[in-house]
Amino acid sequence: AARSKDELRSPICCILGHVDTGKTKLLDKIRQTNVQEGEAGGITQQIGATYFPVENIIQKTAILGDLTEEYKLPGLLVIDTPGHESFTNLRTRGSSLCNIAILVVDLMHGLEPQTLESIRLLRDRKTPFIVALNKIDRIYDWRATPDNGFQSSFAKQPKHVREEFETRVTATITAFAEQGLNAKLYYENKNFAKYVSFVPTSAITGEGIPDLLHLLVTLTQSRLTDRLMYVSELECTVLEVKVIEGLGTTIDVVLSNGYLNEGDRIVVCGLNGPIVTQVRALLTPQPLRELRVKSAYVHHKRVKAALGIKISAPDLEKAIAGSRLLVVGPDDDEEELKDAVMEDLQTLLKSIDKSGRGVSVQASTLGSLEALLEFLRVSKIPVSAINIGPVHKKDIIRASAMLEKAKEFAVMLAFDVEVDKDAALLAEQLGVRVFTADIIYHLFDKFTAYNKDIVE
C-alpha cells in the first residue's frame, strides 16, 4: 500500500467520563461557531461525528501564541456520542480504532465510578488519552477570560483561587496514582509516554480549550504517525443500527481508513449470521444553513476516511453495532469476508466456559459485550452463555439450565439492554436472577453480593 508521511489522515477522538462531568458541553463549546466571523469555519457535522479541519483548530489555538510545532494533520474527527458505547464499538479485531481519547473529570468531584470504568476500558484497549480537568470556573471567585489559554488565565487569578486549584489538582493526581497512573499538568509533563496529562478546562468559559486542542493534535501527530498514514486497506465499523423513517434500517458507521462508494457490496456481522448487501446511499446531514432543503441528508457517491456516515441498504435489520464492515472487491472471496466479519463474535463465543457452568451475559453491542466479558474473565466469573440485544424469554430459559447444574450461576447479567416483560416474569417464576446495569462494575457488585448471600 502507498504510504506517505505527508498524507496523514485525521485521527479519531472519543470523549469518555462520568455523567455530568461536561462531556457534551465541552463538545458543544469546541464546535461553537465563530460568532465574529458568522460561520462554522469549515466544521462539518457528520453522522455520529464532527469534523474539525486543521484551519479551524489553528484559529482556535492561535491565542496560545507562538506554537513551535506545526500542524501536519488535515483535521480531527471527534465522535459525538460521548461515553462508553461508541468507544467500545470503535474496534477491530480486539484493538481500538479510537486514536486518542479525552477523559473528562470534574475538578470539583475527582474520580467517580464511570471515570474508573473509562480508565479500565482505555487501558484494556491501550488507547492514549488526555484528561480534561473540567469546570475550573467553579472554583470560588474564578476570574474568567473567555476562550483563553489556561496558563494565561491562571496567572490572572487571585492567590486563594490558585491555591484551591492546586489543592484540587494534587488530590486528583493522588487519586490517579491510586489507580496506578502517574499524572501531571500537561505543561509540566516532560514525558508523555509515562505521565497522563491533565488539561484544566471550562466548557462554560472556553478557557483551556485551546490547550486541549493543541495537545490533541500535537500528541497524535507525533506519537501516532504510523497509524494515521493513509493505507489502502478499508477500516470501517458499525457504531449504531437505526430505523429511519423512509429509509428503513440503516447503519451509522465510522470509516477510519480507505474509501466507500455508493453501490459497494458490503458484508457485516449479523445476529443470525453474516449479512451481505449493497450500499443504496451514503448519507451525511444537510449543513445547517441548508435546512430549507427537503431531504434531511446529503447523498455521496464516494467518501474518504476519516468520517462518520449513514449507510442505507437492504437487509440491515439484524446488523450488530460494533461489527466491522468489509467491502467485496473484484478479487475477493465473499465467503472469506463473511467468515471475517463473524470472527469477532466467534472469538467471544470461545470465552464461554468449557465446563458448561457459568452466568448468562447479555449486552447491547459487540463492543460492550467484549468489554463485559473481559471484566468477568479478569474477575474469574465463568460465563456459560452470551447474547446481544434485549433479554427475551429464550435467554431466560437458557440461563435456567444452571438451576440444576450450579444454582449460583442461574443469573442473567444484562448490560445496557432492556429485559422484556415476559422475560422478567418468567425469570421470577423459574428463579433466575436478573441483574441490569449500565456500568460494568455495578453488575459485578450486584452479582458478587448475591453470590456471597447464596453461598452462606
Residue 24 or 179 having the CB closest to Mg ion: 24
Kindly tell me which of 128 and 206 has the beta carbon lying closer to ligand GDP: 206
Reduced to 3 states (helix: H, G, I; strand: E, B; else coil), residue 240 is: strand
Name the one range near ligand GDP by CB under 6 A: 19-27, 124-132, 225-233, 406-414.
19-27
Query: Quick check: 203 binds ligand GDP (CB under 6 A)?
Result: yes
DSSP H helical segments within 203-283, as ranges? 209-223, 225-228
Alpha-carbon distance of 236 to 319, in angstroms, equals 14
Q: Cβ-closest residue to ligand GDP? A: 22
If one asks whether residue 115 binds ligand GDP (CB under 6 A), the answer comes out as: no
Q: Which of 19, 296, 430, 454 binds ligand GDP (CB under 6 A)?
A: 19
Closest distance to ligand GDP from the beta carbon of 302 (Å): 34
Residue with grid cell 444454582, as numbered in its chain: 407
Contact footprint for Mg ion (CB under 5 A): 23-24
Among 23, 168, 324, 338, which residue sits at the site for ligand GDP (rule: CB under 6 A)? Answer: 23
Rule CB under 6 A: say whether 252 interacts with ligand GDP. no
Q: Which is nearer to ligand GDP, 137 or 395 (CB)?
A: 137
The cell numbers describing 41, all together, are 469555519
The least CB distance from residue 171 to ligand GDP, in Å, is: 18
- Residue 90 interaction partner, one of ligand GDP, Mg ion, none, beta carbon < 5-8 Å per kind: none
Strands (E), 190-257: 196-200, 235-244, 248-257
* Residue 124 to residue 119: CA distance in whole angstroms: 9
CA 33-201-74 angle, 5° bins: 50
25 binds ligand GDP (CB under 6 A): yes
**How many residues of this chain bind ligand GDP (CB under 6 A)?**
16
Q: Which of the 8 DSSP states describes residue 327?
A: E
Which of ligand GDP, Mg ion, none has residue 135 at its interface (CB below 5 to 8 Å by kind)? ligand GDP
Chain residues 117-156 in contact with ligand GDP, contact rule CB under 6 A:
134-135, 137-138
For residues 231 and 241, the answer to whether their CB atoms sit within 8 Å is no
Q: Please, what is the minimum distance in Å from the beta carbon of residue 81 to ligand GDP? A: 10
E strand intervals along 70-150: 75-79, 91-92, 95-96, 100-106, 129-134
Tell me how far apart the alpha carbons of residues 35 and 39 are, in angstroms, rounded to a whole number.
7
